[in-house]
Amino acid sequence: MIEHKRLQEWVEEIARMCLPDEIVWCDGSDREYQQMVRLMIQTGTAIPLNPFKRPNSIYIRSDPGDVARVEDRTFICSKSKEEAGPTNNWADPEEMKRLLGGLFKGSMKGRALYVIPYRMGPQGSPIAKVGVELTDSPYVVTNMHVMARVSGKVFEEMDPEEEFVRGLHSVGAPLEPGAADSAWPCNAQHKYICHFPETREIWSFGSGYGGNALLGKKCHSLRIASVQARDEGWMAEHMLILKLTNPKGQIRYICGAFPSACGKTNLAMLRFSIPGWKAETIGDDIAWMKFGPDGRLYAINPENGFFGVAPGTSLKSNLNALLTTATSSIFTNCALTPDNDIWWEGMTDDEPEELIDWLRRPWKPGCGRPAAHPNARFTTPARQCPVIASDWEDPAGVPIDAILVGGRRATVIPLVTEAFDWEHGTFLASIMSSETTFAAAGKVGRVRRDPMAMLPFCGYHMGDYFAHWLKIGTVTERSKLPKIYYVNWFRQDSNGKFLWPGFGENSRVLKWVFERCGGTGEAVDSPIGRLPTPNALDMSGLDLAPDVLEELLSVDVEGWLAEVPTIREHYEQFGNRLPKALERQLLLLEERLRKAAR
């Protein structure tokens, strides 16, 4: 047991409410991880995979009603509705605590209460934070082992009065004495993922899946951390972190904000298609950034593993991800091969002749249904990545030179645009849009504005979040701020064919970004920002017609003018909390476009 009075008192309070059969204090050891795996195998939750093909790995199927984040059941329980803002579901914290108190009462009967102390970020980092998750799910324990740095020692490093994030989770399925457990216990009728920003608490009930239950993931690292970052003057962002090295050995670090299933993990593990250049991974999903003594923004990856979308991950799209998952990984809602390995759509060029799909049904090519769920996941340790950077756990973090933002758009948005300055970059990030995916519940393919890829993850009023970005831009010298780029790998022609090959070829854009950060790399001003000149992108070895590249780098003036009213409508929802600077940027954009149209 951990010697921490406030933690012990909280655990005892929760135990009195949830009535578990026992309390288990997790220590983060491999022995503990294997115990949880054996328990899940015994209860039918997990299937051990072929040890010759996928050693120390397990396969899990969730309940069909518990397969993704449930944004409509996710709440920000700030003291006022205004503080939560228009993009969040708000609930009164006292009323929600009363409702949840009734649901959590006795919810862990027949189960263990696992106490998971974890650190988000490398040991000794001034950017790292500590949290504790209480859960009744062995699945959560194993995934948290991979995704965070679980250890009882995290509390030895902190002052007893220091703040820590408190997360409470239950699958909401108490067991009566002698009753058989289900393979995936959950409570489909009552799902709540609730955040209490002022008290740094997370209460999650009913779902056992992904970010709904792994409370160190989006709940802590973004929704609660974004509030901490605002209050303390740093940044908690939904961003990958990538290390780039040119043939001369010069190094630059970039972050990238992209909505789920828009190529973020692929970019984080990119293989450079240009000889002599190298890309290495720092993180694939979250970046916490603070100013260093030199006035630059330094970033850490607070996570310890990757929780990636499996379908579409292939030798072509992300070889390094596949190599990372070769051992010691957890696969959820994929398909199962006859020899006890996993498969998902897009994994191989040829489909297997037979599979067992994620719903336990026989599957053959042409049967008319997917074998894996579109939001099937792999959970795998970051240290196993073949291109993990040697400094990925540097406590000081890495200095960020550039920030990419972008989404999935078939038209209008060029391949890459450099912002004029930090304020203009904040504007571009605030209007970025993408098509919705299976990673979030709801309609697929609908275009929505997703500022900084934080729409589902910002823990407070997004107008204030924009203001925080703008404030960050005033803390240091302009020359020390990262440059901001708006990218779009997904432009299509009139027949729906992608114009840009993407995947490893995105490195050609990164090379230009690298050069721009070093004061080289040619660019030309346009109404929407700075674009590469026709010869600025290294196209050696790539068979791309000149007219296609011209289209990728052109400004669709009429298309952008049509965007202006939708941007204005997007901004209207933030009312008087929308920073005046962004209103001004929109007016300036419209003026430049109308001038170009004449």
Q: Quick one: pLDDT at residue 434?
A: 80
Question: What fold does the segment set 236-305+389-597 form as a domain?
Answer: Phosphoenolpyruvate Carboxykinase; domain 3 (3.90.228)
Q: Quick one: pLDDT at residue 446?
A: 65
Give CA angle at 139 (184, 345), nearest 5°: 75
Phi, psi of 257 (to 5 degrees): -105, 115
Q: Quick one: pLDDT at residue 2?
A: 62
Cα–Cα separations (whole angstroms), residue 153 to 220, 281, 303, 544: 19, 27, 17, 54
Residue 210, H or E segment: helix 210-213
- Paired strand residues for 193: 74, 204
Q: Quick one: pLDDT at residue 155?
A: 78
306-323 exposure pattern, b = at least 16 Cβ within 10 A, e = fewer? bbbbbbbbbeebbbbbbb
Q: What is the pLDDT along the chain (598 residues), one digit of tens a residue?
A: 566 888 999 999 999 999 999 999 999 999 999 999 999 999 999 999 999 999 999 999 999 999 998 999 999 999 999 999 999 999 999 999 999 999 999 999 999 999 999 999 999 999 999 999 999 999 999 999 999 999 988 877 766 777 899 999 999 999 999 899 999 999 989 999 999 999 999 999 999 999 999 999 999 999 999 999 999 999 999 999 999 999 999 999 999 999 876 889 999 999 999 999 999 999 999 999 999 999 999 999 999 999 999 999 999 899 999 999 999 999 999 999 999 999 999 999 999 999 999 999 999 999 999 999 999 999 999 999 999 999 999 999 999 999 999 999 999 999 999 999 999 999 999 999 986 555 454 555 567 899 999 999 999 999 999 999 999 999 999 999 999 999 999 999 989 899 999 999 999 999 999 999 999 999 999 999 999 998 999 999 999 999 999 999 999 999 999 999 999 999 999 999 999 999 999 999 999 999 999 8
Distance of CA 216 to the CA centre of its chain: 12
E strands along 171-250, which residues? 192-196, 201-205, 235-237, 239-245
Q: Quick one: pLDDT at residue 261?
A: 67
Cα–Cα separations (whole angstroms), residue 56 to 42, 381, 456, 598: 16, 12, 34, 64
- Per DSSP bridges, beta strands 447-449 and 362-363 are unpaired
E strands along 420-535, which residues? 433-435, 447-449, 483-487, 523-526, 529-532
**Residues in Cβ contact with 316 at an 8 Å cutoff, skipping those fewer than 6 apart:** 503
| 358: nearest Cα among 346, 348, 344, 347 | 344
Written out in words, the top-level CATH class of the domain with range 5-233 is alpha beta
Record the tokens describing residue 570, joined without a space: 């997007």
pTM for the full predicted model:
0.96
Q: Quick one: pLDDT at residue 161?
A: 73
The catalytic residues are 262
The number of CA neighbours under 13 Å toward the Cβ of 21 is 9
Residue in the structure block whose two tokens are 């979040």: 465
**DSSP 8-class letter at 314:** -
**Residues in Cβ contact with 382 at an 8 Å cutoff, skipping those fewer than 6 apart:** 281, 283, 284, 301, 303, 304, 305, 306, 324, 388, 392
Q: Quick one: pLDDT at residue 236?
A: 98
Contact call for residues 304 and 411 (beta carbons, < 8 A) = no
**Residues in Cβ contact with 584 at an 8 Å cutoff, skipping those fewer than 6 apart:** none
Q: Quick one: pLDDT at residue 70?
A: 92
Contact call for residues 465 and 458 (beta carbons, < 8 A) = yes
Helices (H), 363-502: 422-431, 462-472
**Residues in Cβ contact with 39 at an 8 Å cutoff, skipping those fewer than 6 apart:** 138
CB atoms under 10 Å from CB of 185, counted, come to 22
**Residues in Cβ contact with 588 at an 8 Å cutoff, skipping those fewer than 6 apart:** none
Record the tokens describing residue 280, joined without a space: 């290495």
Distance of CA 13 to the CA centre of its chain: 32
CB atoms under 10 Å from CB of 179, counted, come to 10
**Rounded-to-integer distance, Cα 450 and Cα 213, Å:** 23
Q: Domain 306-384, CATH 3.30.460.10 — does that match?
A: no
The number of CA neighbours under 13 Å toward the Cβ of 518 is 16
**Rounded-to-integer distance, Cα 60 and Cα 40, Å:** 9
**Rounded-to-integer distance, Cα 252 and Cα 135, Å:** 40
Q: Quick one: pLDDT at residue 442?
A: 52
Domain boundaries of the chain, sorted by first residue? 5-233, 236-305+389-597, 306-384
- Per DSSP bridges, beta strands 22-25 and 112-120 are parallel
Q: At what angle do helices 580-597 and 462-472 cross, to 10 degrees?
A: 80
**Rounded-to-integer distance, Cα 313 and Cα 65, Å:** 24
Contact call for residues 296 and 475 (beta carbons, < 8 A) = no
Distance of CA 312 to the CA centre of its chain: 17
